[in-house]
Structure 1
Amino acid sequence: MDAFSFQQEASSQIAERFAEYAANPLMVDRQTTVPFLQTLVSITGSGKTLILAEAIAQIRDRLPIQPVVLWISKGRIVVSQAYANLSSGKYADNLPGFNVKPLLQVAPSDLEDDSVPLLLVATVGKFAVEDSQGGDRRVYQAQLDLASESLWSLIAKRRTHGGLRRPLIVVYDEGHNLSDLQTRRLLELSPDALISASATMALPGQLENTIARLRNDRGWNEQRFTTAVSSRAVVDAGLVKERIAIGGYVTPMETAIDAMLADMGDAQEASASLPVPFRPKAIYVCSTNTVDGVPISEDVKRPFADRQARPILIWRHLVENAGIDPSKIVIYSQLKFGPGFPPPPSLRLLSGGDNDYTTFLEGNFEHVIFNLGLQEGWDDPTCGFAYIDKEMASARQITQVIGRVLRQPGAEHYQNPILNTAHFYIRSDERGVFDEILDDVRTQLLNEHPAISLSIKKDGRGRILEKLMPEPPRTVPTVGILSANAKDPIAAIISKMMNFSSGGENTIGQGSRMLVLQEIGTGNEATYDWVEVEHSNRVTARAIFRRELQRLYSGALRRAGGPINLVDIELPKFDALVELTSPAADHIRSIARDVVDCYISNSRIFQNDFDAPYSVGPVLVDEADAVEFSKSLHRRYSGLNPLELRFARALDKSQRVWARNPRNSGFYLPLLDLASASTYWPDFLVWVDKTVVAIDTKGDHLLTDATLGKLFEIDTLGEPAKVVLRLVSEGEAQVSPSGQITKLSGIGFTVWSWKAGKLHAQHAEDERAAVKKALTF
């Protein structure tokens, strides 16, 4: 799977930090290193598993011998999915050459064979026990038919046939579960690195000594321990939803659920019209065997129609009142039924047994009733709606559930904003209780998901957000990248790339020596010492080339467009194996840079009149801060910042038809720029006769980047221009003939345009004058 730029940057940072540390590690004693420590902090849905897999692959490329990787997590479901994805699933290509196995299936020969990198997957329950002799502790017991030592001991030694100790990298997915006991057991293995990932990171006390050594002896600060992923980058990539909408209901359960079902119906209707349709799903979080308002368990020896347990009441309302097919509903919890009082045959109940999760996934249910049992491991992006009952309505539980609803189906934002929103319907007894919960949730969301907007409705009536359709409908010509002229020049560049398939000194890295522990002697005479290994593992020229393309240009690897599509990446010379620090690797990177430069210089932004135009879609409006306009395509807009609001009001007074253009899901323009993202969304669209003016309002700190990267002449292939770009900044500024921008004062606005290949600035005394100048061409 191709990584987004932010994912590639995060994985590369982890790998580079490890390589720097491993070249000169701290020591506990002569045979034990202080492990490299790194936490990956990234919001739910950002692709942490992909980042970790890419980091492991890059760490492997930098090591002198093939490593052993222990990939662990607390949840059995998480581990099961990780094994499937890493061994033969969507991330297998990100770990080329790795032998992926469940921990208990590893053989001594797997550990001794240093020609193949080894990745072992396990739950922490396999080793995190106080007593290594008690119970079913196979990891601590010798497999007499295979070895005289326990598996745990073999992993701690991890000796190759030649006596070298293989590097051990421990990866803990969902790292917020890392406990002192688990950490103590892992440190027994003398790992070379501990890498932990979570949306909210907290390290156990057992790592205090490790942290102290790295701080005191290496001067590490807090930033050095952490690789953080920008939530804005995750949102812009389309991996998670743009908005979280929370409604508080001091009402009967049925009212809140009916409001959710109404919104869900709109979402299902919107998704059905997509090129790749899907069915949005809902979860219902509630206690299992208790009655509303009563802390004790319900009497299960009652007819089904008389039961008051929350899952049963929700199921009955969905089936009997909402008319939902029971085959689309599942209760995933240990709901109890007394002897002689069974549920109806149409009720699907899964209690979380070994086979139940597989049955649950295969059922493809649209309505899932559970009690947080699916909290970790279930990652279904089509789940966009959640009803949370009052017994579960703590701030902590709500933020946990948010992760289950935040992922974006199809990894792209859609024109209808209801599909880009995570909807929550929270029922509580008292309005004050809901207000307290919201304060806590809002604080956590600002810390964990700062790039995701939050809408809150407290009145408990109807829907959380109002959907407004454009009146009248309007379109904008599609704008794309024409790269046909870059194909032949790129082919010429690739033809000059040298073939290193035969090896040679140019494929060998310089300055890549690392210390490796080696067994000296045999039997009772054996000792251990550190030896220098001169070379690192080799990687394909293809991997180096692709990584460099992705690093240089954010749209390099996208399937539709991007320079990778103009390269015959299957040429045999891309199969050559070289070391990362070799002259050959430097040559391959220089070829990748030339390809990107050639793609940008020979491609054009053009108005594509052959494809269907962009049609302005509906918007969701939060009535709490909605502002009404008379000339806009939508009657009201919410979430406008102060500058946008001033400009929107000025646009409304211009008597021109206009619309606010939503980021990530509205009209966008591709960019040919190394320093920018691959697309950008202007703030406003204005229709002037047969021309659409795309206007962007930016603060001064974005001015230079915005003008150089976003103001350009759109090639119309001989047709009259139908899309014109304008940038508006606060204050008075001017541009010199050489292109240097100077701020003159903070008065009024400056309207920027691009004419005859040059940047032009016009000063306007207020926003109304700025609008007039922006709409004049």
Structure 2
Amino acid sequence: MELLGFQERAASQIADRFTTYSSDPLLVSRTTNVPFLQTLVSITGSGKTLMLADAISQMRDGMPIAPVVLWISKGRVVVSQTFENLSSGKYADNLSGFTVMPLLEVSPDHLTSEDTPLLLVATVGKFAVEDTASDDRKVYRAQLDLAEESLWDQLKKRQTAKGLRRPLVIIYDEGHNLSDLQSERLLELAPDALIVASATLTLPPKLTNVMNRLRNDKGWTDEDFSTAVSSRKVVQSGLVKERISIDGYITPMEPAIDNLLNDMIAAQKIASDLKLPFTPKAIYVCTTNTVDGMSIAEDMKRPFRERQARPILVWRHLVEVAKIKPEKIAVYSQLKFSKDYPKPTDMRLFDGGEKDYSRFISEKFEHIIFNLSLQEGWDDPAVGFAYIDKEMASARQITQVVGRVLRQPGATHYSDPILNTAHFHIRTDEKGVFDDILHDLRKDLAAEHPSITVVVKDENSRGRRDRIEADPPRTIPTVGIESSRAQPPIARIVDGIMDFRGGDSNTVGQGSRMQVLQKIGEDTESHFEWIEVEHSNRVSARSVFRREIQRSYPGGLRRAGGPVNLVDIENPKFDAMIELSSPAADHIRQKAREVVSAYIQYSVIFQNDVDSPYSVGPIAIDPTASEEFKRALHSKYSGLNSLEVKFARALDRTQRVWARNPVGSGYSLPLLHEGQAYWPDFLVWVDKAVIVIDTKGDHLLVEAAASKLFEIDGAETGKRVILRLVSEGHVDISGGTVHKRSKNGYTVWSWKNGRLHPTHCETEREAVDVVLSL
């Protein structure tokens, strides 16, 4: 799977930091390194597994011998999904050449291989025990039919047939579960690197010594320990939802669920009308065998219709009142029944925990009733609605459930905000309880999901609209990239790539050295010493070329096509195997950068009058903090910053129809020099054109290829699409640098006579007049 720009940057930062550290590592003892330590901090749904897999692949490429990777997590469900994704699923291509297997299936031959990288997947329960002699811990016992040593001891040695100790990289997924005991066990393996990933992270005290050595002897700062992924970038990518809606209830269960179902039915209809390949789903989170308001277990020796366990009451309401077919409902919890009063035959109960997980995910349920045991590892982006019962209603528990509803189906935002929102209906006992939960929840969400809008509704604001339709409907032509003229110059560049399949000296790295531990002497008098190994693993020229394209044109490979699509990537000379630090690799990288430059130079941004135009859809607002407008397509907007509010008011005083354009789900223009989408702030319909306006466009002005964005070709029929940028203050640009001459007024940027033209305006009204002039 191709990485998005922020994913590639995170993976490369981890790999580059490891390579730098590995060239001169600290020592604990003569034979043990202080491990490279890194945390990957990124919100749920951002693609942590993909980033880690790519980082491992890059780290492997720079190592002198094939590494062993131990990939661990707490939950069996998480581990099972990780194994499937890395071995044969969507991330398998990102670990090309790796042998991926469960930890307990590894044999001595796998660990002694010098050429084949090995990735072992396991739960922490396989080794995180106080008593390593415990009979139920196979990892600490010798498998006499395979080896005289335990698997744990073999992992410690990981010695090749030539006596070299293989590098060990440990990946700890869902890192908020990392404990002192687990850290102690992992450090026993003398890893070369320990990488911990989580949405939120606090490292256990056991790693303090490692961190102190790196701080004191390497001068590391807090930033050096962490690779943080921008929440804003993740939201804009479409991987997660844009908005969290929290509806609080101090009522019986039934009204809360009814409101959820009404919203869900609306979302399902919209998804169907848009012909989307998914149906929005709902989860219901509650305790399992207790009665409402009581902590004691319910008497299960009662007829089903008299039972008061929360999953049963939810199930009955869905089936008997909402008339939902039982086959669409799953109950994933250890709900208990007696032989005299069994469950209904049509209730789909999964009470075997992780043993039932594969059976559960094999069916397409639209309603899932469960307790918190399902929250880690279960991943269904179609889930957009959640009911949380009062027994589960703590801010921490709700925040954990948020992650299960945050992923965005199709990894794209849609034209209707109801499909880009995680909807939560939370039932509590009294208003004060909900207010306390909300206070803590806002803090948690602000820390963990800072770029996601949070809207709260209660009995006072529930009737207010938070979704406004466009009235009257309006359209605007789409804009894309036309790159046919770039194909011939790119072909010439590719023809000029040298063929290194002969494996001459140019394919060998120069000055690339790493230290590895080698066994010296006979078995009776052997000892270990660090030796320098000059060569790294060989990788294909194709891999080097594609990665440099990705770095030079982030986002292009996965979303918008981009320069790699104009290259015959199956050309046999890309099969050449080269070292990353070799002259051959430098040559390949240079040619990749030339391809990107040619793509940008010869491609054009054009108005597409053939395909269906973009139709302005509904917009989401905060009903408690919105402002009304008279001439806008939507009667209200919220979430505007101070400059946008001023500009919106000035637009509304004109006689033009206009609209606020939402980031992520609205109308976008392609940034040719970045391979990404760009969402202007406002759309205005004038007689012969639609003007798209951005009021924070300074960053576009300094880009070398910014002029491409203004030169929108096409418009042979219908309205032209014209771009205007607005900067605060008196601003101009020279030598590729933006200069602010004063803080007064505004500067409107347009494209005239083949160059950017600034016009200084004293007021926002004057700026709007200049923006709308053709």
TM band (smaller chain): over 0.9
Residue 634 (structure 1) aligns with: 634
Further displaced range: 350-359 or 497-506: 350-359
Shift, 1:745, TM fit: 2.5
What does residue 314 of structure 2 align with? 314
CA contact (8 A) 2:159 2:165 kept: yes
CA distance in 2 between partners of 1:450 and 1:411 (Å): 19
Contact kept, 8 Å, 1:245 with 1:454, in 2: the verdict is yes
CA distance in 1, matches of 2:134, 2:463: 55
| Contact kept? 1:244, 1:452, Cα under 8 Å | yes
Could you say what secondary structure the match of 1:414 adopts?
A: coil
Deviation (angstroms), 1:200: 0.5
- Kindly indicate whether residue 750 of structure 2 is the aligned counterpart of residue 753 of structure 1: yes
Partner of 2:722: 724
| 1:698 counterpart SS class | coil
Q: Provide the rounded CA distance (Å) in 2 between the counterparts of 1:465 and 1:442.
A: 22
Given that 1:245 and 1:464 are in contact with CA atoms closer than 8 Å, whether structure 2 keeps it comes out as: no
Alpha-carbon spacing, 1:742–1:33, altered in 2? closer, same or farther (3 Å): closer
Give the superposed CA RMSD. 1.7
2-side partners of 1:268 and 1:278: how far apart? 9
Range with bigger deviation, 708-717 or 137-146: 708-717
Aligned twin of 1:690 = 688
User: Is 2:35 the counterpart of 1:35?
Assistant: yes
Task: Confirm or deny: 8 A CA contact 1:711 1:753 kept in the other structure.
Answer: no
- The residue type paired with residue 291 of structure 2 is V
SS at match of 2:374: coil
Q: Shift of residue 14 of structure 1? A: 0.6
Change (3 A) 1:264 1:549: same
**Alpha-carbon distance between aligned partners in 1 of 2:351 and 2:465, rounded to the nearest angstrom:** 35
AA aligned to 2:336 is K
CA offset at residue 709 of structure 1?
6.2
Which structure 2 residues correspond to residues 271-290 of structure 1 after superposition, within 5 A? 271-290=271-290
3-state SS of the aligned residue for 1:605? strand
Matched, 1:21 2:21: yes
Question: Are residues 550 and 464 of structure 1, via their aligned partners in 2, closer, same or farther at CA, if it must alter by over 3 Å?
Answer: farther
CA contact (8 A) 2:334 2:353 kept: no
- The answer to whether the 8 A contact 1:330-1:368 is kept is yes
SS of the aligned residue for 1:64 comes to coil
Contact 1:247 1:460 in 2 (8 A): no
| Structure 1 residues without counterparts, runs of 5 or longer | none
Match of 1:360 in 2: 360
Q: Tell me the residue number matched to 2:261.
A: 261
Letter of the 1:684 partner, please give it: F
2:759 aligned residue: 762
Give how far 1:699 is off: 7.3
SS in 1 for 2:372: coil
User: Would you say 1:417 and 2:414 are equivalent positions?
Assistant: no
Aligned 1:528-607 pairs, distance under 5 A: 528-558=528-558, 560-607=560-607
Question: Paired residue for 1:198?
Answer: 198
Q: Name the structure 2 match of 1:678.
A: 676
Distance across 2 between alignment mates of 1:766 and 1:706: 29
What is the identity percentage for the equivalent residue pairs of Structure 1 and Structure 2?
64
- Gap change, CA 1:461 and 1:681, over 3 Å in 2: closer
Q: Per the alignment, in what secondary structure is the counterpart of residue 710 of structure 2?
A: coil
Structure 1 contact 711–754 (Cα < 8 Å) conserved: no
- The answer as to whether partners of 1:479 and 1:606 remain within 8 angstroms in 2 is yes
CA distance in 1: counterparts of 2:406 and 2:704, whole angstroms:
30
Distance 1:551 1:226, change over 3 A: same
Equivalents in 2 of 1:527, 1:491: separation in Å? 55
Displacement, 1:703? 5.9
SS in 1 for 2:695: strand
Q: Give the whole-Å Cα distance in 1 for the aligned partners of 2:628 and 2:353.
A: 54
Q: What is the letter of the counterpart of residue 680 of structure 2?
A: P
Kept in 2, the 8 Å contact 1:289–1:297? The answer is yes
**Deviation at residue 708 of structure 1 after TM alignment:** 3.5
Correspondence for 1:771: 768
CA-to-aligned-CA distance 1:398-438 (integer Å, 9 cap, x gap): 11000000001001111111111111111111111111111
Q: Give CA deviations for 1:529-571 in whole Å, capped at 9, x if unaligned.
A: 1111110111111111111111111243136531111011011
Q: Secondary structure at the match of 2:502?
A: coil
Aligned equivalents of 1:211 and 1:742: distance in 2? 43
Q: Deviations over 1:142-163 (max 9, x none)?
A: 1111111111101100110101
Q: Residues of 1 paired with 2:702 and 2:492: CA distance? A: 34
Closer/same/farther in 2, CA of residues 275 and 602 from structure 1, 3 Å limit: farther
3-state DSSP of counterpart to 1:21? helix
Code of the aligned partner of 1:320: E
TM-aligned CA distance change 1:199 to 1:709, over 3 Å: farther
1:78 aligns with 2:75: no
CA distance in structure 1 between the partners assigned to 2:715 and 2:334 by the alignment: 65
Equivalent residues in 2 for 1:202-213, closer than 5 Å: 202-213=202-213
Q: Residues of 2 paired with 1:156 and 1:465: CA distance?
A: 61
**3-state SS of the aligned residue for 2:373?**
coil
Residue aligned with 2:545, SS: helix
1:647 deviates by 1.2
Change in CA separation of 1:355 and 1:410 when aligned onto 2, cut-off 3 Å:
same
Give 1:169 deviation, angstroms: 0.6
* Unaligned runs of at least 5 residues, structure 2: none
> Any residues of structure 2 matched to 1:194-343 within 5 Å, and which?
194-343=194-343
Aligned-pair CA distance for 1:265? 1.1
- How far apart, CA to CA, are the structure 2 residues paired with 1:691 and 1:271? 31
The SS at the match of 2:97 is: coil
Q: Is the 8 A contact 1:559 1:565 kept in 2?
A: no
2:139 aligned with 1:139, yes or no? yes
The residue aligned with 1:406 is 406
Residue 441 of structure 1 aligns to a residue whose secondary structure is helix
Q: Secondary structure at the match of 1:373?
A: helix
For 1:426, the equivalent position in structure 2 comes to: 426
The TM-score normalised by the length of structure 1 is: 0.97
Aligned mates of 1:703, 1:672 — CA distance in 2: 14
AA matched with 2:753: A
In the alignment, is the contact (CA less than 8 A) between 1:260 and 1:463 conserved in 2? no
Shift of 1:290: 1.0
